[in-house]
Amino acid sequence: MHNYYEYWKLKQIEESSRYPFTKGQLDYFMLNRHKNGLSKAIRKIGKRLYVRMDFFDKWIESQTSKKKELHNALL
């Protein structure tokens, strides 16, 4: 059984209409990936960073649910 995953360069994410992130935002996410939990989605090969898209999408959704949990706790 083979598992194939989709990897994107940061430039592809930036140029994609699927994601609303700017280059600055992506750079910030990458610099802080060990603090913000995104490191699981990142593969570094040489000097290049590649993003495993299924993990990236899950990370985005986890950020949304954290906001909702905080909002609900404040109500």
pLDDT digits (tens, 9 = 90+) for 27-41: 999 999 999 999 999
Judge whether 31 lies within some domain. Answer: yes
In angstroms, the CA 11 to CA 57 distance is: 16
Q: What is the pTM of this model?
A: 0.79
Judge whether 47 lies within some domain. Answer: yes
In angstroms, the CA 33 to CA 59 distance is: 11
Residue 19 has pLDDT above 70, yes or no: yes
Judge whether 41 lies within some domain. Answer: yes
Tell me how many domains the chain contains: 1
Judge whether 20 lies within some domain. Answer: yes
Judge whether 1 lies within some domain. Answer: no
For residue 63, the enclosing domain spans 7-74
In single-letter form, the type of residue at position 55 comes to F
Judge whether 55 lies within some domain. Answer: yes
The candidate with the shortest Cα–Cα distance to 59, out of 14, 32, 70, 3, is: 32
